[in-house]
Every structure is written in C-alpha cells, then in structure tokens.
Amino acid sequence: MPMIRLDTKNIASERLGKEHGIDTAREFSAWAKKLDGFVADLRKRKTDPKAMLGWIDLPENNGELAAIETYAAQLDEKFTDLIVLGIGGSSLGALTVVTALQHPYRNLQAQGQGLRVHFVDNVDPDVIKGLSEVLNPQTTLVNVISKSGTTAETMSAYLAFKQWLQDAVGEAYKKQIIATTDPEAGILRPLARREGYTTFEVPPSVGGRFSVLSAVGLLPIALAGIDLRELLRGAAAANAMIEKPIAENPIKQSALIQYLAYRRGKAISVLMPYSTRLRYLSNWYVQLWAESLGKAVNRDGSLVNEGSTPLAALGATDQHSQVQLFNEGPNNKIVTFVRVANFDNETLIPDAEPGVAQLSYLAKQSFNRLINAEQSATAHAIAAHGRPNYTIELKRLDAYNLGFLLQFFEWQTALMGELTYIDTYNQPGVELGKKYTYALMGREGYEDLRKELEEAGI
C-alpha cells in the first residue's frame, strides 16, 4: 500500500472552532454512504464511453503501455532531447511527472536518466524561436499531443517544429515526429497516417485533464527514463483505496473536506507542496480542479455558477509571499499541503560560518529537517490564525507514490463533481475564447464573430 498519511488535525473544529472547523468524526460518518454510492455510480457509469470515465481504468488496463515501452526500448541512442507539443491536459501531466522524477537539473546534463524533455505549452514567439536555436534537430524527437487534433497552440507549434526538422534532416523528419491523438477524430490522425509518423492513441473516453496515465503522459514519461509500471502500480493502489470506507480512505476524506470547506465559504483551494520537484503538481491540480469543477449549470441545467478556485503555491518559497495573505487575508481558503518524509538526498547544512552565532542553529542540521520543519510550522501557524489546512505526507517521492497521488487527485476531483452535482468532464466555458481567436486569425466560417470583434474595436 502507498506510504501516505493524511493529517487532518488542522481542519478539526476542536482546533478551529465551529465556524471554520469541521467535526470530522461526525461528518465522515454522516457522508459515508453517500460517498460509497458516488464511487459505485462512477464505476457503473464508466462502461459508457461518453461518460468520459476511462481514466479510472488506465492504471490496470492500459491499452498503449506495451507499445510505449517497446518504442522507448528500441529508440536510437543518438537521440538526446524530446520536445513535447501540447497544452492543458496534453502537457501538464507529463510535465509534473518528469519534473518530479528526473534529476532536478536533467536539462543541464549532457548525459543522464532518459532524454532531456522540453515542454512547449504556449505560443510565445521568443520561446519557440529560442528552443529551435538551442536544440540540435539531428538528435531531437518531437511528440505532438492533441486529443482533438485541432488545438491552435499545439498545431501551430507542430507546424513550426516540423519545418525546423524538415529543413535540417530532410525526409528523416518523419521518423522524428510522434503523434498522440484520438484514434479517429480530428486532423492529426489522418495527417500522421499520411506522413507515416509513429502514433499513439488517446482513448476517446479519457478527457485531456484526466489523461496523464494514457499515452498523452506515458510516452514522454517513458522517454524521460521513468518506470511506467511503478507509476501505474501506484495509481492502481489509489483505485483499490477508493473502495474502502471513509474511515480508512484518505481520498474520500480529502474530497469531503474540500466539499464541506467550500460550502462553508472556503472558495479557494490552495495546493502547496513542500518540494520544488513537485512544483508542477500544483499547476496540474489547478487545471484539473478548475476546468472540471467550474461550471455555469448543474446536471439538471439550472444556473449554479459552481466551482472552488484552485490556487498553486510552493513551500517554502511562498512563505515569503502568499502565506501573508493566507494568514491575514480573507478566511476563504483551504490549504492542502504535500510533504515528503524522506527525500532522495540527505543534504547537510555545513558549519561554514562557525563564528556567526545567529546562524549556529542551522549549522550541522539538514535541509531535509529544515524544509519539513517549515511545513509543520506553516501549517500550525495557519491553523493558529483560524484557517483550515491539512497535510498529505508521501513517504518518498518516487514513481509509485506519485502515481498514487495523481490518481488520488483525479478521484478527489471526480467526487467533488458528484458532490456539487455538475458535469466534471466538459468544458463549455473555454469555447467562446477559442472561437474569437479563430475569428481574429481569419479562419473561414468565423466571419460573423470577426465583425463583432471589429465593432468592439478589437
């Protein structure tokens, strides 16, 4: 079983009082049956591909795993770098895992574990140009990832990097582009077939933000030299845990805490890992939470404008930034801390200034002790200010525990969607902005919107 521990003492009403705290024993037992019912219902609904619940099965039943492992194992040793072209759910999962599990400065190493991975998840002209200036096209692979195969940001970057490869290596570019997309829908699939690219499938029943354990995430993660089987084994442990009753189930507890806090006016859900390697976990969480749970209407079509607002923070860095607001600003947040009990390295703080009395309390201790002392201190201080927070402790940061944590948050999000009775898996709110962009870029069929924008002076 995964080595995680959920510490909920800083959300308890004994600690925070009735207004801001939660009577965990009473609430856990009051909601137990309902949560069990949600899990059973999600498992039942997942047989319908349109329900978009395919993410549940990815840990145990992953259609692309063997093909991805074979591709990674047979890769020509000349390749040193991988560019990942994708946005939102087609980028953040792999970014999170690769950043957490490769050497923290892998991209500065000539040799090391797996390829150096570069994520292009924006259309910043300087970044696109800059990356093409520093990488060697002879030894670089490009993985274009778009489930829909139509996303403007990803497809424009594809056009740029395809040209970059073609100019440098000629026809060999076909062997250096890998496309990850829907088995049928969108333009990327037929285009990849025509070009003869290696392709991997995003199952139609898996939405972007829930796709980290599909080929979307697994291919870059494998090419980064990370053990996919351990990652999936950890995620499968979360699938096993979700079946347990709430008393033994940190996932259900965490989902319910989020819900009860939200209903009591904690409209902002902060994720604050105390690990630089987990910094993108917060961005991944923000996207998963925001795009899944922020909805205008509920499942009956009534206007509800539902959604708790996720906020990314990083410990200890944000102790010198957002923590001031967390402690003294509006009491409208719930903070989830993530901490790592055992870091890969035990890094000592040397006694390099023996004469300086003010630094003597640090000398001969470890950074390990310091970072976790800072986390405990901040959690306690936030509670002392009457604000709810709880802590997820990972025994160590490895593929198994990270796989567990990703599936943990996917279940938590799914349960929050059930509790708030919205459609977790659609994203109608991002469409209008896309259409205005098409209109501004002169895409055929968007002339009316173009006119509207011109009238608005845009």
Segment contacting ligand PA5 by CB under 6 A, of 35-43, 189-197, 203-211, 380-388:
203-211
Beta carbon of residue 153, minimum distance to ligand PA5 (angstroms, whole number): 8
Beta carbon of residue 148, minimum distance to ligand PA5 (angstroms, whole number): 3
Q: Which of 81, 291, 410, 418 binds ligand PA5 (CB under 6 A)?
A: 291
Spatial CA neighbour of 422 closest among 413, 430, 431: 413
Kind plus residue range of the DSSP H or E element containing 270: strand 268-273
Query: CA 219 to CA 71: how far, in whole Å?
Result: 9
Strand order in the sheet with 389-396: 4-7, 389-396, 333-342, 268-273, 309-312
Q: Which of 64, 201, 291, 418 is catalytic?
A: 291
SS3 91: coil
| 291 is an active site residue | yes
Q: Is 90 one of the binding residues for ligand PA5 (CB under 6 A)?
A: yes
Q: Which amino acid is at 445?
A: G
Q: Which of 59, 114, 137, 207 binds ligand PA5 (CB under 6 A)?
A: 207
Residues in the chain, overall count: 458
Q: Is 93 one of the binding residues for ligand PA5 (CB under 6 A)?
A: no
Beta carbon nearer to ligand PA5, 291 or 318: 291
Task: Tell me if 294 sits within 8 A of 425, measured CB to CB.
Answer: no
Q: Is 427 one of the binding residues for ligand PA5 (CB under 6 A)?
A: yes
| 118 is an active site residue | no
Query: CA 342 to CA 336: how far, in whole Å?
Result: 19
Beta carbon nearer to ligand PA5, 284 or 400: 284
**In sequence order, which ranges of 264-333 are alpha helices (DSSP H)?**
279-293, 322-328
Q: How far is CA 352 from the centre of its chain?
A: 39
Q: Is 88 one of the binding residues for ligand PA5 (CB under 6 A)?
A: yes
Query: CA 222 to CA 229: how far, in whole Å?
Result: 10
SS3 394: strand
Query: CA 270 to CA 314: how far, in whole Å?
Result: 10
Q: Which of 106, 162, 189, 209 binds ligand PA5 (CB under 6 A)?
A: 209
Beta carbon nearer to ligand PA5, 84 or 100: 84
Residue whose pair of structure tokens reads 């909601």 in the numeric block: 31
Size of the site for ligand PA5 (CB under 6 A): 14
Q: Which of 89, 114, 315, 388 binds ligand PA5 (CB under 6 A)?
A: 89
Beta carbon nearer to ligand PA5, 214 or 389: 214
Q: Which of 147, 162, 252, 277 binds ligand PA5 (CB under 6 A)?
A: 147
| 33 is an active site residue | no
Q: Which residues bind ligand PA5 (CB under 6 A)?
A: 87-90, 146-148, 151, 154, 207-209, 291, 427
Q: Which residues are catalytic?
A: 291, 320, 434
